[in-house]
Amino acid sequence: MNRYKINKINDFKWEIVKDDGLGMRVPGIIFADEQLLKHAVDENTIDQVINVASLSGILKASYAMPDIHYGYGFPIGGVAAMDKDSGVISPGGVGFDISCGVRILRTNLGIDDIGDKLENIMYKMSLSIPKGVGSKGKIKLSASQISQLFTGGVNWAIRNGYGWDEDKYFMEENGCMEGANPDFVSKRAVDRGCEQVGTLGSGNHFIEIQRVDEIYDEKAAGVLGLKKDQITIMIHSGSRGLGHQICSDYLKVMQQASLKYGIKLVDRQLACAPISSPEGRRYYQAMVCAVNYAMVNRHCLAHWVRLALEEIFKKSAKKLGLELIYDVSHNVAKMEAHNINGTTKEICVHRKGATRAYGPYHKDIPTAYREIGQPVIIPGDMGRYSYMLLGTKEAMTESFGSTCHGAGRLLSRTKAKKNIRGSELKKELFDKKGIVVMAGSMSGLAEEAPQAYKDVSRVVDITQSAGISKKVAKLCPLGVLKG
């Protein structure tokens, strides 16, 4: 029997009733339908939502998106906003792959332009883009150079000849989050990051050639420069070994800080420190270094993609229309201004496996998109589809301007590898759907099989029905590059 009570608010929103006996300071709110709620209950992910609700300074609720699944400390798909003065910051609320995120490029190519070039495109990208566990990139940095990257973000990359200056205006934080301090990043983390800029990595990271399959909002799609049967390119990667090391380093710091400040933890994986404490400030400033690193990483991956397509099509990237639509992160803690009981306050919003989804007219949205809302990019699995969404006004009050980040896992990586053969999956995707897959590891490919994930269309429909984001376009994979 469950130790908690869940009330149905509507078909797509559920409340875990605040229970002092469970240490909850606020209720839990889950955006889900009955089927996905049952999965969260069966997986015991609800316990993690409850545990997050026990953290000091948490505001309104402990939130979970419909792609929720079990994570380290926080559930993946968890959102928690903390009071700046009384709240805490937790590496478990950000995750190991700090600023793991996704960007999408539009092109002026149509499906007919790809024709019989698809396999050649994928082969060329596979040769051009470093990928896989521990992969090293074409960019080798010294400690002083990586410090400049930490503080300069995408501006550093542009100065060094990677990407276009206009790209940064279509990224969160204009490609450079303020507050980075390289002094708080360990030598071990720096060493891991010096040779991984512009690398894809492994796991669920990918580069996809996609086709715009369906348009739901013609006006918004026009603003984003999307139309049916157009080719787009989606890039999903993060801060690589650097971010993982920063998280690992600060989990140790936070375990000691929790004792130092008398913070009682219902789960030691929620180790944290007051936001205003020296430990909290150091973690935040190190985390920002990883955020800027991740944005540069995706920026350089896009640069390699542009070069590869220039070689295939014998045209410049400009003539191919390879422009950045948007780049958004989904593992981050940010200082943001939100309305709290009628007063605008700066608070710290943890989003772990969740995407910022600001509504129209917010000052942090690129001017070109301000009337329609912030673009939200939701990757699905390699065999089905992904989505372009927009943030909404309702999300600002319902979820601190947050929505889902993807499909969410159904099977663990271990179970997926046990049940699925990567080589057979690759053949099946091509034979049945014409999807060309290039992967560095067949076991890694098996981990990311479509059947290991929830149907992203279900997840996206729930976020739209709940009002926290809305659909613009559906994108179907043609070619997939995996580590």
Q: By three-state DSSP, how is residue 460 classified? A: helix
DSSP one-letter string for 266-304: SSGGG--EETTSHHHHHHHHHHHHHHHHHHHHHHHHHHH
Catalytic residue among 236, 299, 303, 405: 405
Amino acid symbol at 119: E
C-alpha dist (Å) from residue 317 to 105, 133, 208, 308, 368: 11, 29, 17, 9, 21
CB 469 within 8 A of CB 392: yes
Angle (nearest 5°) at CA 308 between 302 and 311: 145
Please give the sequence-ordered ranges of beta strands (E in DSSP) within 145-258, or none if there are none: 206-215, 230-237
Please report the sign of the dihedral spanned by the C-alpha atoms of residue 211, residue 215, residue 216, residue 219. Answer: positive
For residue 299, indicate whether it is catalytic.
Answer: no
The Cβ-side half-sphere exposure at 313, using a 13 Å CA radius, reads 22
Residue 449 in tokens: 């099989």
Helices 456-466 + 34-42 axis angle, to 10: 110
Tell me how far the alpha carbon of residue 225 is from its chain's centroid: 22
CA nearest neighbour of 140 among 120, 160, 168 = 160
CB 404 within 8 A of CB 380: no
CA nearest neighbour of 152 among 171, 174, 167, 170 = 174
CB 66 within 8 A of CB 463: yes
Q: Which run of H or of E encompasses 78?
A: strand 76-83
Tell me how far the alpha carbon of residue 20 is from its chain's centroid: 32
Output 415-420 pairs: Cβ under 8 A, ≥24 positions apart: 415/452, 416/446, 416/447, 416/448, 416/449, 416/451, 416/452, 417/443, 417/446, 417/447, 419/451, 420/446, 420/449, 420/451, 420/452
* Terminal Cα-to-Cα distance of the chain (whole angstroms): 42
C-alpha dist (Å) from residue 307 to 311, 318, 423: 6, 11, 29
CA nearest neighbour of 212 among 386, 336, 68 = 386
Nearest-angstrom CA–CA distance, 129 and 135: 10
Give the catalytic positions in this structure.
405
